[in-house]
Chains A and B, each alone.
Chain A
Amino acid sequence: MNRVKAKEYASKALFAAAAIVCIVAVVAIFVFIVIRSIPALSKIGFFNFVFGDVWNPDRYDEYVTDPLAGRYGILTMIVGSIFSTVGALIIGGILGFFTAVFLARFCGPRVKRVFGAVINLLAGIPSVIYGFFGMAVIIPLFANISPTGDGAGLLVTSLVLGIMILPTVVALTKNGLEAVPQELYEGARALGATHEQAVFKTVVPAAKSSIVAALILGVGRAIGETMAVIMIAGNSPEIPGGLFGSFRTMTANIVLEMGYAGEVQMGALLATGVILLVFIAIINLLFGLVISGGKKNKGGKKLSLGVTMPKWLNFSAIGKVVSWVCAVFVAVFLVLIIGYIVIRGLPHITGDLLFKNYHYGGEPALLPAIVSTLLLIVVSIVIAVPLGIATAIFLNEYTKKGSKFVRIIRSSIDVLSGIPSIVYGLFGMLTFVVWFGGSSSILAGGFTISIMLLPTVIRSTEESLKAVPDSFREGSFALGAGKVRTIFKIVLPSALPGILSAVILAIGRVVSETAPLMYTMGSVLQPMPDGFLGSGATLAVALYALAGEYKYMDEAYATACVLMVLVLILNFFAGFIGKRLGKKFQGENNAVRKTKKQSKQSSED
């Protein structure tokens, strides 16, 4: 029996260790990037760096040379990031808010289901595809109306980023609206308010804090976005002059110059990452404040009822129309982006493109990219899935809610999920690339992206663990089974569909990520990778590389098509499997419900 006990302790220790990895990762990311940027910051001067408006690095600058030949001010990029984020918030926030209102209150269950799927599809499309669509389709369109003749710049960036943050805004806003007690709505209707008035004057104000939280989270997404922006913003380091003014964001700056950066320049780019992290930290803080503030307010605050509004101001009726328009716009955009890429890409998907090896200087071929992607999936799943599942088990099966340790783990996971992907790339470049031999490799890319996957895997695993009824656990304990046996024989098998869907989602993430892989795994088309320690470009990176060469537009469309279809299939599959989890327990519930009904009937007899 002591062996059983030893096993119990060992398992608990293992699960806890997995959870600690999350804390370690957060600390490591901050420490590595901050420490490595300090020499550059002290050389350039913090004030000159943040408030200097000239970015003109000299790649021969070294820390020992005195004075610096280049200029390292990132003010223009800070402004660029803020402008594009605000633009995204205006477009994505408004669209997202009204779409959420539409979904929560103005449509039937069937429309809601279809739209829910539409929004999920939008969320699943890789950012490099958004960038590619913006570059290849929207920019030429905008060029017609642009005074400069170039469609790139603030407007297109805001539009694309707005669409990209939309799923986040919609999901959170919709949840908030649906969580508003039905009594509030009914109360308003009972006082004579119309449906629109009740929704816009009663339900929406009641959900205010979650709407604000949704917008803040959207801002976090927008400011951290890299690949889409880099393809459409124009990228000149200046403050955008008007809607079609070219500009550069902080994230774009890192990707654009890291590849050939000199010593001080690289430090400055890392420091750009630090400033980005500061912005993310502020956003997270705001998010936390809004969420906790919203909870506190809920009890005491009195809500004004719509009926007191003057009837002539028919804001509510307009809102209804706007909701419809926004929802339709979102759906149309999705159909457009998927349809256009499929139509343009499908004819160019040829056997030569898919199944031929690539050699430098030859025609583009994707086989190496496909193989690299598969190898990357293997590495990252092997690392992230066991770690993520073990952490989720530790959080859900072993810990009590309020404990300090658990709070630290949870906030680490939150922080991890908020860190922009390019920062993961920087971290991987500073650590894994160095540890695995100094040059980019599939292994380094896999480790980097594994950390990124952890929050997704942990959260969805936890969801499915929570869905397993406690009665199963109790039943197992009551038979004398220990914790470990209960977890492995009862809880995990029951949660398996949910965990599987988490794994598939994670694979989808690996396939669609670009920014974290550029400087950890390889950024150009390459021949067949040389095992796990060789470097290679994934499909997504290959798309970015091909899109940069105008000569290979057809091949780029074909790659985009393959990539998009792959990701959509993976996401669809994940959703399909996830749904089976719910069905699994229905048999049990039905049986109980039936017997309850029977006993009720019989007691009436």
Chain B
Amino acid sequence: MLFGKRKNKASSLPKTEPQETAEGVVAETAAEELSYDGGITVKEANLHYGDFHALKNISIEIPEHRITAFIGPSGCGKSTFLKCFNRMNDLVAGCKVEGEFTIGNVNIYGNIDVNELRKNVGMVFQKPNPFPMSVYDNIVYGPRTFGIKKRAALDEIVERSLKQAAMWDELKDRLNKSALGLSGGQQQRLCIARALAVDPKIILMDEPTSALDPISTGKIEDLCMELKNDVTVVIVTHNMQQAARISDKTAFFLLGDLIEYGETDQIFDRPKDKKTEEYITGRFG
């Protein structure tokens, strides 16, 4: 019900209209009308940290409204790759990204507004990082950044985001308490709610449960499953069971190479590549 309501809202936004017309029109209007609606397409991506070649020639298509999991041993480049999608790698000194990254109809390494990109591509970090302010202020931080100032509108966003993150009942009475006082699991779900508050099309999750206890982990997994109705989720995880449980597609990375990518069932039941099989059956990593 909740999500239905939000979808209606989304479709009433004017900028989604061009997509309903013929393909040619979309291409024509693309010059003015950038839209992050749609999947992620990457062609021949390479990434260097100084001399280190961290990602090698990676091409992948990530479908809309699905959960895609990146798995692989530490240092395989999966988190690095994830951070290309919202250009968080820009913040790393000496990091150079090559290749074509498209989200919706936007070439995200073209001449675009990075902040607009990050509004549309939210991110949840490994370690919960609530700001040292109240729960409420944490959630409205993003909307305020993009110019929403009316208290009523912000209140609505807070309620909507917290409900979407399934923690409205837990937090509705402590919206003005410091977010640092929450438990680790609550903090992480708050961070998800915070990311949802700006209406992103995609949410990137960088090992979101690795610092959490099993119960909190379960809650976040449930949350992911529900979120995919509204957003595209890309999740990096160390935990293969987690990938198998929640994802629709899985990509296996090893030492900067994308070894195998396919439907999650296929990857876990009938891996095509020997290395994938070895990793999944726990022989290395």
Contact = CB atoms under 8 A, between A and B. Distances in A.
Interface of A: 1, 4-5, 400, 469, 471-472, 474-482, 485, 489-490, 493-494, 584-585, 587-588, 591-592, 594-596, 598-599, 602
A481 B145 contact: yes
A475 B118 contact: no
A602 to B, nearest CB: 5
13 contacts: A474-B88, A475-B194, A478-B123, A479-B122, A479-B195, A480-B115, A480-B145, A481-B115, A588-B180, A591-B184, A592-B184, A594-B184, A598-B213
B187 interface: yes
B131 A475 contact: yes
A280 to B, nearest CB: 34
A193 to B, nearest CB: 41
A599 B115 contact: no
A400 B93 contact: yes
Nearest to B144: A489
B181 interface: yes
A595 B120 CA distance: 30
A472 B181 CA distance: 16
B280 interface: no
Q: How large is the interface on B (under 10, 10 to 19, 20 to 34, 35 or more residues)?
A: 35 or more
A475 B208 CA distance: 13
B77 interface: no
Given A469-B129, A585-B132, A592-B127, A4 B115 contact: yes
Nearest to A588: B180
Interface string B147-171: 0000000000000000000000000
Contacts of B178: 587
A591 B181 CA distance: 8
B154 to A, nearest CB: 14
A592 B130 CA distance: 12
B159 to A, nearest CB: 18
Given A471-B127, A474-B129, A478-B86, A587 B181 contact: yes
Contacts of A490: 131
Given A480-B146, A599-B214, A475 B191 contact: yes
A595 B185 contact: yes
A475 B125 contact: yes
B131 A477 contact: no
Interface string B124-139: 0101111111000000
A592 B216 CA distance: 13
Contacts of B109: none
From A4, A471, A482, A595, name the one whose CB has the most chain B CB atoms within 10 angstroms. Answer: A595
B213 A474 contact: no
B211 A485 contact: no
Contact of B130 (A482, A588, A599, A602): A588
Contact of B91 (A477, A479, A485): A477
Interface in B93-135: 93, 113, 115-120, 122-123, 125, 127-133
B184 A480 contact: no
A5 B113 contact: yes
Nearest to A602: B214
B165 to A, nearest CB: 15
Interface of A is mostly: helix
Contact of A476 (B141, B187, B214): B141
A1 B187 CA distance: 31
Contact of A588 (B88, B91, B123, B132): B132
Contacts of B123: 478
B84 to A, nearest CB: 13
A479 B145 contact: yes
Contact of B180 (A481, A587, A598): A587
Contact of A591 (B120, B145, B180): B180
A400 B94 CA distance: 10
B187 A591 contact: yes
B271 interface: no
Contacts of A1: 113, 115-116
B266 interface: no
A478 B122 contact: yes
From A472, A584, A599, name the one whose CB has the most chain B CB atoms within 10 angstroms. Answer: A599
A478 B118 contact: yes
A493 B137 CA distance: 13
Contacts of B185: 595
Given A1-B113, A591-B180, A595-B183, A475 B129 contact: yes
B182 interface: yes
Given A475-B130, A478-B86, A482-B115, 18 more contacts: A1-B113, A1-B116, A4-B113, A4-B115, A471-B125, A472-B132, A475-B191, A478-B123, A479-B118, A479-B142, A479-B198, A480-B115, A480-B118, A481-B142, A481-B145, A592-B128, A595-B183, A595-B211
Contacts of A481: 115, 141-142, 145
A477 B182 CA distance: 22
B234 interface: no
A43 to B, nearest CB: 54
Contact of B184 (A479, A493, A595): A595
Interface in B182-216: 182-185, 187, 191, 194-195, 198, 211-214, 216
Contacts of B141: 476, 479, 481, 489
Given A474-B88, A485-B145, A588-B180, A480 B129 contact: no
Contact of A478 (B116, B125, B182): B125
Contacts of B118: 477-480
A214 B187 CA distance: 45
B116 A599 contact: no
A480 B119 contact: yes
B213 A595 contact: yes
B88 A478 contact: yes
Nearest to B182: A591
A499 to B, nearest CB: 15
A471 B185 CA distance: 16
Contacts of B130: 475, 588
Contacts of A485: 145
B242 to A, nearest CB: 13
Contact of B198 (A480, A494, A588): A480
A469 B119 CA distance: 22
A480 B191 CA distance: 14
B235 to A, nearest CB: 15
Contacts of A480: 115-120, 142, 145-146, 198
A474 B131 CA distance: 11
B119 A595 contact: no
Contacts of A474: 88, 91, 125, 129
Given A474-B125, A478-B86, A591-B180, A584 B132 contact: yes
Given A478-B88, A479-B194, A587-B181, A595 B131 contact: no
Contacts of B131: 472, 475-476, 490, 494
Contacts of A588: 130, 132, 180
Contacts of A592: 127-128, 184, 211
For the complex of A and B, 9 pairs with smallest distance between CB atoms: A595-B184, A480-B119, A471-B129, A478-B123, A587-B180, A480-B118, A479-B142, A598-B213, A475-B129
B43 to A, nearest CB: 24
Contacts of B183: 591, 594-595
A485 B116 CA distance: 14
From A469, A476, A480, name the one whose CB has the most chain B CB atoms within 10 angstroms. Answer: A480
Contacts of B132: 472, 493-494, 584-585, 588
A591 B191 CA distance: 14
Contacts of A599: 211-214
A7 to B, nearest CB: 11
A482 B142 CA distance: 11
A469 B125 CA distance: 13
A494 B93 CA distance: 24
Interface in B40-95: 86, 88, 91, 93
Contacts of B211: 592, 595-596, 599
Nearest to B91: A477
